[in-house]
Structure 1
């Protein structure tokens, strides 16, 4: 297997490339296009074949009903037990974690693993290009491909520009291109500008989307989950995830929830700002809060969130928890109630700007996401709730070590910018 940084600096003509692709609609087409551009423009490969968990427009279809228990050999089980991390796969996958029993989850893993095992035994590839792990199928695919000596190139959309994508599998930094000083200066200036004049979705836009996604969920629950999955036994992940994706499902989680939030942050300026912590809620469930936190005893986002809030609340801090605009009215009301059960903890409306939150807070606490970078570039003190991903390579302290938090120097900011940029490639 070649180092990813070398793959992006090499001519890969003649190498056999496999692209994992989702369904050829909507976001599936977008990610197919990302993969195509990465292979042709950045890896400079001649051609590629497509593997998909969707039966249309693919060279190979991952048929999750092809194998059953009677097909597994002693050699297969030895492979499963020696190569795969079952606990991690189940914990990270939202459908397994939330919706089905442990033994049933193992059956899904075994069936998918058997298919991929036989596939890579029969087909030899040099490079696999895939979207980053966001479900058990991709998680297994990347693990098994590596076992067969295949170099894995994973990508995701970039928060720092719609015309770019990030080359990363689990949030790690991959130096896939050389960065100029002008790029670094432009990046810092753009991030600082966004913090000062942030984009905040209007209430009308948010409420329209909530209404749209509420009825979308009802339709998908009937057609995807009840008909395709339950009745027809179609195990494509797009049908399974209907019951655990970020849809507004219950009217009780929509109406009256806004009363739990405050829009008035001016009142907090009267307090000791050195004892105010700002925690931006992450969009969840999502890969960045499921697969990007490598700490072994990390359970999942919500337990980690409550642990973090509790730490600050019990130490006398005022904890301001601001909702993510894209998650507003899509979480269960119980999550908000649990947050508010902690002393000196407040829910802040998503329509309050990031800059306003920076202005009244001493510490910004993050797991992953762009808020940490924005805070760094705005001279704020950033604290990490869990493992370091790509921000600063050791410059940021963790919860409990706030005394070590500080604003970064210009040179350190430039290094953070370089780290962010060197994993990002243009998609044109």
Structure 2
């Protein structure tokens, strides 16, 4: 399990040669502060650890106060060439009037630049980018030559990876025994990622819990912004706007999907293209899509469906973890797409949909990897970090249907081999690491295993990024 050191992050000589303890800046929120402290201590036990946060009660750098002053005075940093993309990718900023979005982007950039110049950290540890504060923090760290690492869990249970915007980073060479173990795990029909286990237990109960909580969230976060004096707190503000504008609805949708979907598939004369729906807005779309046009997921999804429905029978299935969030109007738009569109009920197992399909279309979702591992052709609108080998084909709305059909037929004509499966797993494992990073608020500092796993994550940062084997 050797570290390769090919991380893609800027590593400065100061990190390795600095006299005295490292200075580590951790971006934290209430649900992850304790975990990040344990991770940072494992990177360097004698490090000077500081919290930077959009939450006033956690921030120890003065970021919040500087940001608020900048907004009030309409000052911050001069316009940056990256501002337009920063605004477009952030679910909060892009929902604001253009001038207001620019004002907050500039105010935050100025505040972060001031903090980094004053604190002079050697290392920044953060969650993978999911908002404009994260995005600007990574941008300014890169500008100042500071090593910054983003952490995110993966669809492989008990593994995490380093990534800022979803990019793939080769960090090690996996052993053959580990490849065998993970291959067996992911090809087991009973396998379910940990984040979906509780959701699959009762989708109806989950739907109505989410339906009710969405209405309460609008009130709760609206009041939170007013009563805490944190009007511009990203979590409060974004939760309020996103829930009110994209989630909350009055008339619940009790079900989505056709009960006779299997029979309709059997009657279809065209190849079947499985389209597993992806959560939106979410970092895996907002920040992982290289082409910013793909960030508008609902619009682009409908455009791809209209384009592909002429050549394929489209099989659509909702993500079980999203059922209850989207407004019913979204499903009505999908059902109104002209051509052969079949909707599988939400509780249907994704593996069954893969087996009954000729190919799969994804943005960045893990179903793409599951499908490729089973020999299916995978069409992508982006470049998922797990994509490698001949079973993946990136397409655009301009890609000729004839070329897409040819790719699907040629791939189907070549059954996947055991060697090819192992290559897919080897590639995946080269960019993910054993260990649990919990970004769902479930970390418990009183649980020994959670502490051990956080220390394991910190040890990997130390081994692969701070002082890799090839370091000078």
Q: TM-score range by the shorter chain?
A: 0.7 to 0.9
Alignment of 1:346-385 (within 5 A): 346-385=342-381
1:59 is aligned to 60
Instruction: Identify the match of residue 75 of structure 2 among 50, 72, 77.
Output: 72
Q: Deviations over 1:107-131 (max 9, x none)?
A: 1111111111111121212211110
Q: Deviations over 1:151-189 (max 9, x none)?
A: 11111122211x332211122111223311111111111
CA contact (8 A) 2:153 2:161 kept: yes
Please state how far the C-alpha of 1:398 moved relative to its aligned partner: 2.6
Structure with the greater relative contact order (CA < 8 A, sep ≥ 6): 1 or 2? 2
Q: 1:204 to 1:285 in 2, by over 3 A?
A: same
Instruction: Identify the match of residue 145 of structure 1 among 133, 141, 148.
Output: 141
SS, match of residue 172 in structure 2? coil
Instruction: Identify the match of residue 4 of structure 1 among 7, 19, 22.
Output: 7
Q: 1:5 to 1:140 in 2, by over 3 A?
A: closer
Question: Pairwise CA RMSD of aligned residues?
Answer: 3.0
SS, match of residue 87 in structure 2? helix
SS, match of residue 351 in structure 1? coil
1:403 is aligned to 406
1:330 is aligned to 325
Please state how far the C-alpha of 1:381 moved relative to its aligned partner: 1.8
Q: 1:273 to 1:292 in 2, by over 3 A?
A: farther
Please state how far the C-alpha of 1:390 moved relative to its aligned partner: 2.9
Please state how far the C-alpha of 1:106 moved relative to its aligned partner: 0.9
CA contact (8 A) 2:210 2:324 kept: no
Aligned length: 406
SS, match of residue 283 in structure 1? coil
Q: 1:137 to 1:214 in 2, by over 3 A?
A: same
Q: Structure 1: how far apart are the matches of 2:231 and 2:214? A: 18
Q: Which contiguous aligned blocks of 4+ residues in structure 1 show a shift greater than 6 angstroms?
A: 10-13, 195-204
Q: Structure 2: how far apart are the matches of 1:192 and 1:413? A: 10
1:136 is aligned to 132
Please state how far the C-alpha of 1:397 moved relative to its aligned partner: 1.2
Q: Structure 1: how far apart are the matches of 2:197 and 2:316? A: 16
SS, match of residue 187 in structure 2? helix
CA contact (8 A) 2:89 2:292 kept: no
Instruction: Identify the match of residue 92 of structure 1 among 51, 69, 89.
Output: 89
SS, match of residue 397 in structure 1? strand
Q: 1:51 to 1:37 in 2, by over 3 A?
A: same
CA contact (8 A) 2:23 2:123 kept: yes
- In the superposition, the TM-score normalised over structure 2's length comes to 0.77
Please state how far the C-alpha of 1:210 moved relative to its aligned partner: 2.7
Please state how far the C-alpha of 1:388 moved relative to its aligned partner: 4.3
Please state how far the C-alpha of 1:87 moved relative to its aligned partner: 2.0
2:218 is aligned to 221
Please state how far the C-alpha of 1:364 moved relative to its aligned partner: 0.9
2:420 is aligned to 412
CA contact (8 A) 1:268 1:360 kept: no
* Structure 2 runs not aligned, ≥5 long: 437-452, 454-472
Q: Structure 1: how far apart are the matches of 2:274 and 2:103? A: 42
- In the superposition, the TM-score normalised over structure 1's length comes to 0.85
Q: Structure 1: how far apart are the matches of 2:206 and 2:257? A: 19
Please state how far the C-alpha of 1:200 moved relative to its aligned partner: 7.5
Q: Structure 2: how far apart are the matches of 1:361 and 1:273? A: 12
SS, match of residue 278 in structure 1? strand
